[in-house]
Structure 1
Amino acid sequence: MAESSVNFLIEKLSNLIGNEVINLFRGVGEQVVYLRPEYEQMRAFLRIADALQDSDEELSVWVRQVRDIAHDTEDILDEVSILQGHDHGHGFYASLCKLACCVKNAKACYRIAAELKGINSRLRMINQDHKRLRHKLIKVEGSGSNMWQDHHCDALLLDKEDLVGIDKPKKLLIGWLIKGGSGREVVSLSGMGGMGKTTLAKQVYDDAEVKHHFQVRAWITVSQSSKVRDLLKDMVQQLFKAMRRVPQDVENMNNNQLKRTIKELLRKRRYLIVLDDVWHLDKWHAVKYALLNNSFHSRVVLTTRNTDVAFATSIESEGKTYDLEPLSLAESWDLFCRKTFQGNACPYYLEEICRNILRRCEGLPLAIVAISGVLAAKNKGMIDEWCMVSHSLGAEINGNDKLKDLKKVLSLSFNDLPYYLKSCFLYLSIFPEDHLIEHMRLIRLWVAEGFIEAKEEKTLEEVAEDYIIELLNRSLMQVATTTSDGRVKTFRIHDLLREIIISKSRDQNFATIMKEQNVQWPGRVRRLSVHNTLQNLHPNRDTKVKMIPRYIGKLQNLETLDLKHSLVTELPIEILKLQRLRHLLLYRIEYVSYEHIHSKSGFQIMENIGVLRSLQKLCFIEANENNSGNMMRELGKLTQLRRLGILKLRREDGKALCSSIEKMTGLRALSIASEEEYEIIDLQHLSSPPVLLQRLYLRGRLETLPHWIPSLRSLVRLSLKWSRLKDDPLVYLQEIPNLVHLILCQVYNGETLCFKVGGFKKLKILGLDEFDELRSIQVETGALPCLEELIIHRCPVLEKVPSGIQNLTKLKVLEFFDMPVELINTLLPDEKDNDYWKVAHIPEVYSTYWRGGGWEVYSLDSLGDGENCPLPREVIKSCQLQTRWK
């Protein structure tokens, strides 16, 4: 973490040295110039020291000193930036203010220069410890590696009673090893630390059937710090021992000789090699050429915390990947009671406490075994001691010697992170327990904090996306929810991993978390996260704010202005001073009526909004009636936009808007709505649409379907409303290659919709709404092969379910909203000539109606007497009332 702080500071110093600060502030610039080489000198050393500070107190003190002085330097440089950025405007009064400010600035400059001089002196003293600590570092690094090796080997010695939920994956893996192709295949096991990868691999490795099948076996523990030469030597020695041959003098062999020896030993033998705990691909690349592809059904088993490593190795050899899942609740409880109560039942008065502790383990076998060991030593009659563990599990992990191995395993993944990810991951400690972390909110916070390093030809948001993928691949974050088109909405982290980073965050003065009032604050607070103080807010956390003050223009570093669901409809012109603004979000959903439940209102666009060149998201703006054409052309200056939302667009503004959209080459989401249902949206002038466009929402009349929509190869979600087309749109839309979610509302006036064979190859969700003339829907065999959810709304003359629906084998949900009773009647299983057989394979079939200001949902997959159901009698005999929402 100190390395992250120093890297961030060096970049800041470089930026300051490159501008006018040296000329403006006498004495300050000189000290800034002296600072950079001092920090650069210690940067490389910090990379190693950061990872090993937990195992050496003196090293930890040195790292803390570096981190604290880096923070002090950053604070002073921020003050320099503030002095440099003062803007007093024009005129006589402004001149007086500027003169007064110059006097204050002069005094501040002398003080800042003196403070920087003091920091330079402190830095030189800290750097003097380098030589002594470098010699010590070699010993610490070696002992730390051996210590982890000892802990890791414990997983190979587990008793049979410690193994729960292992039979099914063990059987699967043995099948993969024994069956399959004749070439060398790699079977990769992936999962977070403590999930039981090594344990499972060892059970498979020692299985009698596996022993009998393979002529030669070897188990190689790789770990983080293993050197390639040591791995190769270990492999050679194990292979000689397995073959009962006299070992050669491997000590004098170089790497190439070792690889040739391994290849020769394996040439005509069916072998099984386990590479346990592979952290990075470079270790695999270093040994894979020694593992001969000898066409004897040989296998390599690889365990890793990194899904990238698992995926890449299995793809190379056309092998397989197994992702370990947490234990189920039943399996977790079985293991917990077995270890805590020596196989006896949990006392009834401790059950609630124990289940709460177990919930925090989240099915992680290592955590369950470790914490069970702590509880097993406690007096079962002292309930307060058990409650203390439940309420203070984080303190137990950090302070109880019996849990040091658990902490070590969980901490290793953090220590292995590159410096640019450590700050990003520690930042997750600010979120409350069980909080689902919003994807885009997290990215915006990371960018605002300065954690994201700029990369050529990538926006900061795109780099942040790469960071998230890397944390997911390392099993440090988990996907919690996704959108209908597959995008990640929210993340979460394992509770115990969260306790680890909270501890590290506190120790490294990264963030201070306040859960209760009257708690003493630490002396230095870098970031403050306050929990549990906003419980009484409305769940949609709407505000009554109607106006934004003009002084917002002074927030020169503001990057996100989120006014969603407020009462603000107009922004002050001073917004245009915010040159670093990246996200401007202002809209309110108005629940007018059932028909207009998703009506939105936005804000009036400013004439010179094009000056905000850093904008990534802009929604929703309302096209002004006066001079709207110029406004639409002004949007063309916002070339960095990734998401754009426009309301109340008029037909005559279409050409200017198309011209602007063509300049937004990075646009991912576009939403356009006309003011009235019958107002035409003219988008035919868009000759080269953004190739990266993923989501498109059009609400308004279309004379014809825009010619460019079928060419959008990146499009995954499309919503068309009020289009009222004369021609069947499916003919054109079915060829969009990656479309996953399609919503059509009042789109077509024809009597028939036909989904052709081979069309909509990836579509998973289809919604059809208000097709007033629609009498039949046809699904040809082979059409919609991936469809999982079909929703049909308010089609008043549709009296039959789609013909061919029985062929949609992946369909999971079929839902009707306010559909004719005649159609529902055809689905009753006890009626003659019914269509029940067409939908019998669908797990969930619903009929939903709007009644008394709320939705009422009827499940058609079970019977009910229907006494309280407002539907006609012929329908209620097969409907069971289930109120989903009101």
Structure 2
Amino acid sequence: MAEFLLSKLAESVVSQTVQRITDLLIHEAASLRSVKEDVLLLKDDLRSLWAFLKDADSKQEHDQRLRDLVLQVKDVAFDADDVIEIFILKVTSSYVKAFHNKNVRIQLSFVRKRTRGIFRRMQNYGIESVAAEGTSSTAELQRSLRRSSPNDDEDHDVISLERSTRALTAELTKEEDRLCIVSIVGMGGLGKTTLAKKVFNSVKQHFDCSAWVFISQRYVPKDILIEIFKQVDSSFENTMKFGNNKYQKQRYLQEMQEHELIGLVKAELKQKLYLVVLDDIWRIEAWDSVKRAFPKGKKGSKLLFTTRNREVATFADPLSSQIEPPFLTLEESWELLQRKAFTRDIVGDGSCPLEFIDLGKEMAQKCGGLPLAVVVLGGLLSTKNSLDEWKKVMRDVNSYLSKQESRQQYDGVHEILALSYHDLPYYLKPCFLYLGNYPEDYGIPKRKLVRLWIGEGFIMTQTEGMTAKQTFEEVAEGYLEELINRCMVQVDKRDHTGIGVKTCRMHDLMRDMCTLKARNEIFAQIIQQHESNMSINVSATSFQHSGNSHSRRLVIHPGCDLYWDTHPTCTYFGMHVANASWVNQVHPNLRSLLCFGGALSLSALRLSNFRMLRVLELRVVDGSKIPGAIVPYNMSKEDWNDVRIDELKDIETLKDIPSSVLFRYDALNKLINIRNIGIDFEGSSNDDVRKVLASPIIQSGRLQSLNMYISSGDGFPSLESVSSCHGLSKLNLKGKLLEGMHSNNNHTLQFLPASLTKLILWRSNMEQDPMPVLEKLPNLRFLRVGSDAYRGSTMVCSTDGFPMLETLVLFDLVFLKKWTIEKGSMPSLKKLTIDEVSNLEMIPEGLQFVTSLKELNIVGMDNSFCDKLQVKNGIEGEDYYKVRHIPSISIQI
């Protein structure tokens, strides 16, 4: 499948280059004026290659000529990008003369010549027409190996599916007065089909008729409909088995039109209680092509999907439940491994000899709870009879899991997981491969990830389905959601809304597959700890098709030696370096340098080597001065002095910006695309605060996150202007809030928008209890009130208040003595923290009725308060009954 993957990744590379050239023609029109015609011609040539690659099919997967051509396509795209960017760099640095125009035309002409040569060879090989001819024998073999049947004997592979089995059985036997579609979702190898078979065989007698059809990525609607009809029409089976013309009806069905088959199946099912399984359905289009064949049927009729794509399940039936089998525990993995590795005919009762146990458990853990991996590994170990052979397998488990075991029922684990990669649209492939840059077991922050994708140029402005009003960040977040829905990426933590993603991660085996594909594509060069002090010869593992074999992306993992100094040990690009073997991978066309661990001196960045760098992720050491061309993520106030903030018209996020900067060059009225902003009002007058609150930044309604800090003066004036921020999700206010200035002495907090999901108030100096206002916010999930935010002695949370609140933090409220929680308040609360509320007399009585509470943290409270909440020497404290229902209680005196 390697050549197929190459063509798909090359497709994304070329598409990005075409988009990049389009953007440059728009934004760098003046710089490119003298060579515009040449650039446009090159763009047209690349579009022709792109069209070919979009139509390329895995039919050519063993064609070495195609492999070579695809690699050349990637190089041409990279070279085109280089030529144009270097030219712009020279123009903008006033380093261009007439001969440079001539020189760039020569280079562009050479790139175009190479492009036309590639296209001619494609035509000569007839590659452009093979996509419609069918699929490769290897791809067909892979699908046939995976083709499922409810009669397959997989009892040996069923481990710990009790909970999922009960849930699925309940869904399939539930009598609802509509056609329900139940879905089993999850990543490849999780046991979806195994679960479906187990339940299908146990409940099918409950139905008048049933059918099981394998769909796969390359489905044919007509074949699906025929197979369903054959299984649900008993008379057809009788004809096939006992009729004199047993193939006549089959031939008749094959000659029918698709719409006729839909009518035939529909008529057969209309009066029946039926169950139909569509196993391994990948796309919404597959369901659309056959859904008209399924009538409501008798009450309780069901369809069952197995799919890797949650979008398919949701689209088909938004009201129905989705069941996701859990990963195996270590104990369950070991039990399954024993079943596969030690069959009864080899070892009496199928149990493992004692000397194999420790090694076996260690290998079981390597499978990451993925049933397919355990089964494949167990099948391999069943052929290894000695401890030495097991040790050999243990030394390189991953390579064994990635190999295809052609004599077994399953392909290699990597190949099964790679099917999800094959199915990705071209624009998602680089986004997925980028995730392989992160270290193993790394919680990947969504906000940083989407910004890196944007910086890399992965987010296309002309992607299918993108609306004109969407920002790059919104599109990137959509890409991540699509990868999550395809079960290729796992949600690690949800954000304050409880819906959005805060961090994500990849299953170890999915990451292994990802990094393998990325390495084969020279997508990124990753320097890991064990490699950082040894020389790495990339060219030895790179394809020798051209001189452009270096990756454009260099990634340095935690634990690597990043020391780069002037102590003489060796010389590199005219500079002395020490213990810095990673610099061997630095080359003039490097686009990204990602340092995920340790800290790096920026002296290296003054080298001309980094002239093409687009993305830089690192921590700075040694007080290194940041080069002027770099705008750092965290900017001290001094850093803002040389920044023309008004020219950043498309910028969406600004952190900790001094308010004075916003008044320069009328930036307040120009930064209309801001979505997230943090403003420091230190030294500003009340008039300045009012001007900012009345500016388009606030009034546009685009804001999603707003942080404002006032450490002195009269504090915040009325928050009435914030009420127009209907999309505002996060609000952080540090500073005094003025009270009693509104009619009927209404609280200034009344103007907070209903869209808020996270609110932080500190140093607000409020005299009125804020809870009666805040508890009416319908979407609030996170609330933090502290540092003298409230100076009153009593606080009340009313019945039905805070309907969605999940996390509440009270800290440093030294005046608060009595807190009342009425029954029915905070019905969704999961986490409560009371931190240094030193005069609070007791835990609220009503806390015993907050049954949703899972975690209580008590910090910095005195002994008498804490003793009431604990059990000592078997004796319960007097307030223990209020908290006994909470699973996790942490007390730090």
TM more than 0.5: yes
- Between 1 and 2, higher relative CO (CA 8 Å, sep ≥ 6) is seen in 2
**Cα pair 1:710 1:735 within 8 Å, conserved:** no
1:397 to 402, 411, 421: 402
Q: Please state how far the C-alpha of 1:8 moved relative to its aligned partner.
A: 1.7
The 3 A distance-change label for structure 1 pair 202 and 56 is: farther
The 3 A distance-change label for structure 1 pair 151 and 332 is: same
Q: In 2, distance between residues paired with 1:149 and 1:722? A: 67
Q: In 2, distance between residues paired with 1:797 and 1:203? A: 60
Q: In 1, distance between residues paired with 2:315 and 2:32? A: 54
Q: What residue in structure 2 maps to residue 453 of structure 1?
A: 460
Q: In 2, distance between residues paired with 1:212 and 1:42? A: 55
The 3 A distance-change label for structure 1 pair 389 and 54 is: farther
Q: In 2, distance between residues paired with 1:162 and 1:685? A: 62
- What's the secondary structure of 2:663's corresponding residue? helix
The 3 A distance-change label for structure 1 pair 118 and 203 is: same
Alignment of 1:473-552 (within 5 A): 473-486=485-498, 487-515=500-528, 516=531, 517-522=534-539, 523=542, 524-532=549-557, 534-535=559-560
Q: What residue in structure 2 maps to residue 368 of structure 1?
A: 374
Q: What residue in structure 2 maps to residue 341 of structure 1?
A: 342
The 3 A distance-change label for structure 1 pair 136 and 110 is: closer
The CA deviation string for residues 705-732 of structure 1, in whole angstroms up to 9 with x for no partner, is 9746654222111111111112111121
Q: Please state how far the C-alpha of 1:245 moved relative to its aligned partner.
A: 5.9
- What's the secondary structure of 2:428's corresponding residue? helix
Equivalent position amino acid for 1:839 in 2: V
1:740 aligns with 2:781: yes
Alignment of 1:214-225 (within 5 A): 214-225=207-218
The CA deviation string for residues 581-613 of structure 1, in whole angstroms up to 9 with x for no partner, is 7x84336xxxxxxxxxxxxx9966668422222
Q: Please state how far the C-alpha of 1:371 moved relative to its aligned partner.
A: 2.0
- What's the secondary structure of 2:218's corresponding residue? coil
Between 458-467 and 723-732, report the one with greater CA deviation. 723-732
Q: What residue in structure 2 maps to residue 780 of structure 1?
A: 822
The 3 A distance-change label for structure 1 pair 801 and 110 is: closer
The CA deviation string for residues 487-517 of structure 1, in whole angstroms up to 9 with x for no partner, is 4232221222222222222323322334422
Q: In 1, distance between residues paired with 2:797 and 2:199? A: 49
**TM-score of the aligned structures, taking structure 1 as reference length:** 0.82
Q: What residue in structure 2 maps to residue 796 of structure 1?
A: 838
Equivalent position amino acid for 2:826 in 1: L
The CA deviation string for residues 416-460 of structure 1, in whole angstroms up to 9 with x for no partner, is 110110111112222232233221222122111111011421111
Equivalent position amino acid for 2:522 in 1: N
- What's the secondary structure of 2:135's corresponding residue? helix
The 3 A distance-change label for structure 1 pair 537 and 482 is: farther
Q: Please state how far the C-alpha of 1:387 moved relative to its aligned partner.
A: 4.5
**Cα pair 2:803 2:826 within 8 Å, conserved:** yes
Q: In 1, distance between residues paired with 2:161 and 2:611? A: 57
1:180 aligns with 2:193: no
The 3 A distance-change label for structure 1 pair 688 and 146 is: same
Q: What residue in structure 1 maps to residue 484 of structure 2?
A: 472
- What's the secondary structure of 1:140's corresponding residue? coil
The 3 A distance-change label for structure 1 pair 633 and 847 is: farther
The 3 A distance-change label for structure 1 pair 463 and 279 is: same
Structure 1 residue runs of 5 or longer lacking an equivalent are 89-97, 588-600, 850-886
Root-mean-square deviation (CA, aligned residues, Å) is 3.7
- What's the secondary structure of 2:537's corresponding residue? coil
Q: In 2, distance between residues paired with 1:287 and 1:300? A: 12
Q: Please state how far the C-alpha of 1:471 moved relative to its aligned partner.
A: 0.2
Q: In 2, distance between residues paired with 1:372 and 1:270? A: 40
The CA deviation string for residues 609-637 of structure 1, in whole angstroms up to 9 with x for no partner, is 2222232222223456xxx7835963443
1:723 aligns with 2:764: yes
- What's the secondary structure of 2:148's corresponding residue? helix
Q: In 1, distance between residues paired with 2:413 and 2:286? A: 25
Q: In 2, distance between residues paired with 1:770 and 1:272? A: 60
Q: What residue in structure 2 maps to residue 884 of structure 1?
A: none
Equivalent position amino acid for 1:834 in 2: E
**Cα pair 2:52 2:128 within 8 Å, conserved:** no
1:642 to 675, 678, 690: 675
Alignment of 1:170-319 (within 5 A): 170-207=165-202, 210-241=203-234, 244=237, 246=239, 247=249, 249-315=252-318, 318-319=319-320
Q: Please state how far the C-alpha of 1:537 moved relative to its aligned partner.
A: 8.7
Q: In 2, distance between residues paired with 1:493 and 1:468? A: 12
Q: In 1, distance between residues paired with 2:374 and 2:597? A: 38
- What's the secondary structure of 2:126's corresponding residue? helix
The 3 A distance-change label for structure 1 pair 602 and 198 is: farther
Q: In 1, distance between residues paired with 2:11 and 2:643? A: 45
Equivalent position amino acid for 1:187 in 2: V
1:327 aligns with 2:328: yes
Structure 2 residue runs of 5 or longer lacking an equivalent are 1-8, 240-248, 345-349, 543-548, 564-594, 740-745
- What's the secondary structure of 1:620's corresponding residue? strand
Between 458-467 and 810-819, report the one with greater CA deviation. 810-819
**Cα pair 1:762 1:784 within 8 Å, conserved:** yes
Equivalent position amino acid for 1:475 in 2: C
Q: In 2, distance between residues paired with 1:709 and 1:146? A: 65
Q: What residue in structure 2 maps to residue 590 of structure 1?
A: none
The 3 A distance-change label for structure 1 pair 233 and 727 is: same
The 3 A distance-change label for structure 1 pair 695 and 14 is: closer
The 3 A distance-change label for structure 1 pair 731 and 136 is: closer
The CA deviation string for residues 700-758 of structure 1, in whole angstroms up to 9 with x for no partner, is 11122974665422211111111111211112111111100101112222221111111
Q: Please state how far the C-alpha of 1:405 moved relative to its aligned partner.
A: 4.1
Q: In 1, distance between residues paired with 2:877 and 2:73? A: 81
The 3 A distance-change label for structure 1 pair 262 and 749 is: same
- What's the secondary structure of 2:656's corresponding residue? strand
The 3 A distance-change label for structure 1 pair 41 and 561 is: closer
Q: What residue in structure 1 maps to residue 806 of structure 2?
A: 764
The 3 A distance-change label for structure 1 pair 421 and 565 is: same
The 3 A distance-change label for structure 1 pair 257 and 185 is: same
Q: In 2, distance between residues paired with 1:138 and 1:351? A: 51
**TM-score of the aligned structures, taking structure 2 as reference length:** 0.82
Equivalent position amino acid for 2:482 in 1: E
Q: Please state how far the C-alpha of 1:77 moved relative to its aligned partner.
A: 3.1
The 3 A distance-change label for structure 1 pair 791 and 536 is: farther
Q: In 2, distance between residues paired with 1:332 and 1:393? A: 16
Q: In 2, distance between residues paired with 1:448 and 1:758? A: 45
The 3 A distance-change label for structure 1 pair 53 and 504 is: farther
Equivalent position amino acid for 1:668 in 2: Q
1:118 to 113, 128, 144: 113
Q: What residue in structure 1 maps to residue 89 of structure 2?
A: 82
Tell me the number of residue pairs that the alignment of Structure 1 and Structure 2 aligns: 806
**Cα pair 1:607 1:634 within 8 Å, conserved:** no
Q: What residue in structure 1 maps to residue 704 of structure 2?
A: 668
The CA deviation string for residues 394-426 of structure 1, in whole angstroms up to 9 with x for no partner, is 476157656744333211111111011011111
Equivalent position amino acid for 1:325 in 2: P
The CA deviation string for residues 796-853 of structure 1, in whole angstroms up to 9 with x for no partner, is 332121121111011112222222333234335577992221221112223223xxxx
1:755 aligns with 2:797: yes
Q: Please state how far the C-alpha of 1:53 moved relative to its aligned partner.
A: 4.8
Between 482-491 and 410-419, report the one with greater CA deviation. 482-491
Alignment of 1:685-704 (within 5 A): 686=721, 688-704=723-739
- What's the secondary structure of 2:169's corresponding residue? helix
Q: In 2, distance between residues paired with 1:338 and 1:392? A: 19
**Cα pair 2:560 2:598 within 8 Å, conserved:** no
- What's the secondary structure of 1:518's corresponding residue? coil
The 3 A distance-change label for structure 1 pair 398 and 613 is: farther
Equivalent position amino acid for 1:638 in 2: L
